[in-house]
C-alpha cells in the first residue's frame, strides 16, 4: 500500500530537492554507491531522474563530489544545496521526504550492524555451524558457533541475530551472569 501511495519520483527537479533534503537531514557526506542504493535501490527515485539530478546538482555546486584518500568518492552538500533543502522541501510531499530519510537511516544502521557482527555459515557432515563474531574496534567481544540442522535454519538463525545484534549479545551476557551453580539436594527423603 505504501509503495502504491509513493511511486518512484520521475521528475529530476523533485529528485534535486529530495537529494538535497536527504543530505541536509543526515548531515554527513555519503558515498556515491550508498546514495544510489538509498535513492534508487529503495525505489524512491527513478534511475533516470536520479542520474539527471545528480549531474545537475554537481554541475551547479549544490553537491560536491569529493574523492577520499582511500579512493572512495562521496557527495557533500554545499550551501546552494542547503538552501534548496530548506526553502524548497515542501515542493516534495512529506511522504517522499520521510520515506527517503527512513531508507537512509535503515541503510546506515544495516551497514553498522554488518561491520560490528560477522556471520559465517560453516557446512558440516550433518547440518551447519552459524559462526557469530561480535566485534568492537577489531577485537572479538564474542566468538560463538551455533548448530543448525540445515542451511535454511542456519540462515534463519543468522537473520534473527542480525535483526538486533546488540540485544543478542546482551542476552548472552545476561545468561552468563545469571547462571548459578546447580544445587545438590542432600536430604534423606
List, for residues 34-51, the tens digit of each pLDDT value.
Answer: 999 999 998 999 999 999
Nearest by Cα to 44 from 104, 91, 87, 90: 104
103 within a domain of the structure (yes/no) = yes
Same domain, 89 and 147: no
How many structural domains are present in the chain?
2
Q: How far is CA 170 from CA 51, 99, 110, 151, 158, in A?
A: 43, 31, 19, 26, 16
151/129 Cα distance (integer angstroms): 9
- The CATH number covering residue 44 comes to 1.10.10.10
Of 114, 141, 161, the residue that ends a domain is: 114
Q: Would you say residue 1 has pLDDT above 80?
A: no
Same domain, 82 and 146: no
Q: What is the DSSP string of 145-160?
A: EEEESSHHHHHHHHHH
Of 82, 114, 146, the residue that ends a domain is: 114
Which pLDDT does position 116 carry in this prediction?
83
pTM for the model:
0.71
| Backbone region of residue 43 per phi and psi (left: phi > 0; alpha: psi in -120 to 50; beta: other values) | left
Residue appearing with cell numbers 549531474: 55
Of 58, 92, 114, the residue that ends a domain is: 114
List, for residues 141-171, the tens digit of each pLDDT value.
Answer: 889 999 999 999 999 999 999 888 888 888 9
Phi, psi of 86 (to 5 degrees): -75, -45
58/80 Cα distance (integer angstroms): 11
* Residue 165, H or E segment: helix 165-178
How many beta carbons lie within 10 A of that of residue 127, not counting itself?
A: 14
Same domain, 33 and 103: yes
List, for residues 70-128, the tens digit of each pLDDT value.
Answer: 889 999 999 999 999 999 999 999 999 999 999 999 999 888 888 888 899 999 999 99
Same domain, 102 and 145: no
183 within a domain of the structure (yes/no) = no
97/104 Cα distance (integer angstroms): 11
For residue 148, give its domain range: 124-178
Which pLDDT does position 117 carry in this prediction?
87
**What mean pLDDT is reported for the chain?**
90
Which pLDDT does position 38 carry in this prediction?
96
Amino acid at each position: 500500500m505504501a509503495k502504491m501511495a509513493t511511486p518512484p519520483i520521475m521528475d529530476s527537479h523533485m529528485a534535486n530537492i529530495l537529494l538535497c533534503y536527504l543530505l541536509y537531514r543526515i548531515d554527513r557526506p555519503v558515498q556515491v554507491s550508498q546514495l544510489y542504493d538509498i535513492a534508487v535501490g529503495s525505489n524512491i527515485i527513478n534511475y533516470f531522474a536520479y542520474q539527471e539530478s545528480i549531474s545537475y546538482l554537481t554541475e551547479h555546486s549544490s553537491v560536491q563530489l569529493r574523492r577520499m584518500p582511500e579512493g572512495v568518492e562521496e557527495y557533500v552538500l554545499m550551501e546552494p544545496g542547503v538552501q534548496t533543502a530548506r526553502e524548497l522541501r515542501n515542493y516534495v510531499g512529506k511522504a517522499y521526504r520521510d520515506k527517503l530519510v527512513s531508507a537512509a537511516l535503515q541503510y546506515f544502521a544495516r551497514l553498522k550492524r554488518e561491520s560490528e557482527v560477522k556471520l559465517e555459515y560453516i557446512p558440516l557432515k550433518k547440518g551447519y555451524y552459524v559462526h557469530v563474531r561480535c566485534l568492537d574496534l577489531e577485537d572479538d567481544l564474542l566468538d560463538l558457533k551455533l548448530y543448525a540442522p540445515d542451511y535454511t535454519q542456519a540462515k534463519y538463525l543468522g537473520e534473527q541475530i542480525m535483526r538486533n545484534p546488540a540485544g543478542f549479545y546482551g542476552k548472552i551476557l545476561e545468561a552468563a551472569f545469571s547462571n548459578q551453580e546447580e544445587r545438590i539436594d542432600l536430604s534423606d527423603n
